[in-house]
Chains A and B, each alone.
Chain A
């Protein structure tokens, strides 16, 4: 039996490890609980999800722009942008639209449901670099969801940033998200511009495309070349027009950030589903600067 080959256990001593380089961390899911559910619109709900173990919860740290994989054992697993402020650590807020098999199931669950959280994954918005600069946050539709985390982080350290503009567009007033927080945000000396494509009878705000809001903002300052960072998130068609306008207004490509959406099955650069050419949206993204996106075929 001397030729019986030696069995190599790849997990070895690393079982239960959390570092990205350890094979044991690959399928490591943190048990978490849905602590509350707020309906925001007809289809979107804000889920507060808390990692159960207090130590794991405090150790869980993320940067605005990153995402987690949310798992309901037996139902499915899907990636979601984190909408809460990074200071809340493992006490997460995820805004989720009921649109597929998994999210429709999620729309039916009650508070107290035990879920699994893996992550955080992906790149983030460079908020440290943005300090001392003016910030433009431009979101369309569900695009406000990944924008909320950097927005809250900026508001918490408001004095470190220059002028802050939020431009947010939705199809109808009923589809606007986080309406209950607008007044609170405005108290932090920010310019909040909201527009809808189609107004209803009760709508008193603006109607029109988000590019109109942006046009007005661009007119107010001489150039965006210095002192401005922009974060854009929305449907592909919005990226196209907004990024073009910002570039024309002088904003350097490396100071404009987008957050991309793709189908993902692992979040760890293995399933290939989010691949755009050479780039994994889960590892090299979801936050890209505009220069990287320009270099990627079919990215936006």
Chain B
């Protein structure tokens, strides 16, 4: 791995160099009821719009690789048959300017199931492979439990990762394109002092985690506690609204619908992201619902994230960003749910 250090003023120059491409980054979208800024990822036209010191975006960056609604294919229909046209809906690369480690890890986890498995999903892959990601370090928020999930540092899945050292950025370079870009701005190799500052920043960050999830033997405990009354208690609270899946950076499940155009000569097949908390998630034709209760659906969500995915890919599907807990209308947070199932209040 190659490391470089550059002055903070150079970042504007880096943005300028990349500006021939579409740039997406964290921007301020409004204020919450306490007057704190609300951030979200959006297309950035001006370097000054970028809020690189953002706490956490309300939504994850997933909509840029997994749009909430997407047309999978269109059909030209005639009396004699039909012809299918597939469009992956990706035409140009996208630059992500300022993504936190948890979100980078979330994309890596999505890769496992959507790109590196049987039947790779080209709609996802097309968008994912055309991302240029500049990561940036963060300060843990009260809801963050990424450290428990092993997602607090990004090891791969980005091009450049920046750590704030005060007046300078410490850059971790992971791709030739990123190296080439940095060679066009004024940067140098890190000094011993930079290294010391970098280590200090990392150690300092680790002291600030407050939320925690105990993951030891979690797969087994979830199996043993499948009938636990704790699930019913959480199920009573859960509104089955699907907000958690909406903001989750790793929730990828979807439903497909087909529509006929009014002229009856064209039809389309569209995909919309779904949520396993919604009542019809596992309902089959004929009316049988494999998960009829709110508790069974909430439980399934935790089983898939913390048990099923671990069994399949040896890592959890949760990155511990805490967005679901922050967005939940019923104040259900993963650290509390898992602690109650483990028998710790």
Binding site for B on A (CB under 8 A): 1, 3-11, 20-27, 29, 31, 71-78, 97, 99-100, 102-103, 114, 116, 261-263, 265-266, 268-273, 275, 277-279, 283, 297-298
CB of B229 closer than 8 Å to a CB of A:
no
> Taking the nearest CB of chain A, how far is it from the CB of B40, in angstroms?
23
Q: A10-B122, A27-B84, A268-B119 are in contact. Are A74 and B308 (CB under 8 A)?
A: no
A3 contacts across to B, CB distance below 8 A: 17-18, 20-21, 181, 184
Chain A CB within 8 A of B327 CB? no
User: What residues of A have a CB within 8 angstroms of the CB of B258 in the complex?
Assistant: 71-77
Q: Are B284 and A261 in contact (CB under 8 A)?
A: yes
* Interface magnitude class on chain B: 35 or more
User: Would you list which residues of chain B between 64 and 97 have a CB under 8 Å from chain A?
Assistant: 72-73, 75, 77, 80-82, 84, 86, 88, 91-93, 95
User: Per a CB cutoff under 8 Å, which of B181, B257, B303 touches A76?
Assistant: B257
| Structural contact, B132 and A275, CB atoms closer than 8 A | no
User: Shortest CB–CB separation between residue A294 and chain B, in angstroms?
Assistant: 12
Q: Are A10 and B125 in contact (CB under 8 A)?
A: yes
Contact A5–B93 (Cβ < 8 Å): yes
Q: Is the interface of A mostly helix, strand, loop or mixed?
A: loop
B293-337 residues with Cβ-Cβ distance < 8 A to A are: 296, 300, 303-304, 307-312
Beyond the given A11-B88, A278-B312, please list 17 additional residue pairs across the A-B interface where CB-CB is below 8 A: A4-B20, A5-B95, A9-B126, A10-B88, A21-B118, A26-B120, A26-B122, A26-B123, A73-B267, A75-B260, A262-B290, A263-B284, A268-B118, A268-B119, A272-B276, A278-B304, A298-B290
When distances are taken between beta carbons in the complex, the residues of chain A under 8 Å from B312 are 278
B255 with A283: CB separation less than 8 A = no
Please indicate the chain B residues that have their CB under 8 angstroms from the CB of A99 in the complex. 285-286
Given contacts A271-B253, A273-B274, whether A29 and B84 have CB atoms under 8 Å apart is yes
Q: Tell me whether B269 is interfacial, beta carbon within 8 Å.
A: yes
24 pairs from A and B in contact (CB 8 Å cutoff):
A3-B18, A3-B20, A3-B181, A7-B93, A10-B88, A10-B122, A21-B118, A26-B123, A27-B72, A27-B84, A27-B86, A31-B82, A71-B258, A72-B258, A74-B77, A99-B285, A102-B285, A114-B81, A114-B82, A266-B254, A266-B256, A268-B119, A270-B252, A271-B255
Given contacts A23-B125, A269-B113, A298-B290, contact A7 B282 (CB under 8 A): no
Residues of A within 8 A of B260 (CB): 74-75
Most chain B beta-carbon neighbours within 10 Å: one of A20, A23, A77, A114: A23
Q: Which of A23, A77, A78, A103 contacts B269 (CB 8 A)?
A: A77
> Nearest Cβ in chain A — how far from B332, in angstroms?
20
Q: Which of B130, B276, B311 contacts A8 (CB 8 A)?
A: B130
Residue from the list A7, A21, A100, A116 in contact with B130, Cβ < 8 A: A7
Q: Is B206 an interface residue (CB 8 A)?
A: no
Main secondary structure of the interface of B (DSSP, over half): mixed
Q: Which residue of A lies closest to B120 (CB)?
A: A23
Contact of A297 among B20, B226, B254, B267 (CB under 8 A): B226
Contacts of B3 in A (CB 8 A): none
Question: Which positions 234-271 of chain B face chain A at CB distance < 8 Å?
Answer: 252-261, 267-269, 271
Let me know if A74 and B259 touch, CB within 8 A. yes
Contacts of A277 in B (CB 8 A): 303-304, 307-308, 311
B147: shortest Cβ distance to chain A, in Å? 24
Q: B177 interface residue, CB < 8 Å from A?
A: yes
Q: Determine if A21 and B120 form an interchain contact, defined as CB atoms under 8 angstroms apart.
A: yes
* Bound form: Cα–Cα A275–B310 in Å: 14
B147-188 with Cβ < 8 A to chain A: 177, 181, 184
Alpha-carbon distance A114/B75, docked complex (angstroms): 12
- CB within 8 A of A26: which of B121, B269, B290? B121
Cα–Cα distance between A103 and B284 once the two chains are bound (Å) = 12
Which residues of A lie under 8 Å from residue B254 when comparing CB positions? 265-266, 270-272
Q: Quick check: is B48 within 8 A (CB to CB) of the other chain?
A: no
Name the CB-closest residue of B to A284. Answer: B312
Q: In the bound complex, how far is the Cα of B75 from the Cα of A31, in angstroms?
A: 12
State whether A20 and B119 are in contact (beta carbons under 8 Å apart), knowing that A74-B267, A270-B114 are contacts in the complex: yes
Q: How far is the CA of A271 from the CA of B18 in the complex (A)?
A: 34
The 3 closest A-B pairs by CB, nearest first: A74-B267, A100-B285, A272-B253
- On whether A273 and B118 interact (CB within 8 A), knowing A8-B129, A73-B75, the answer reads no
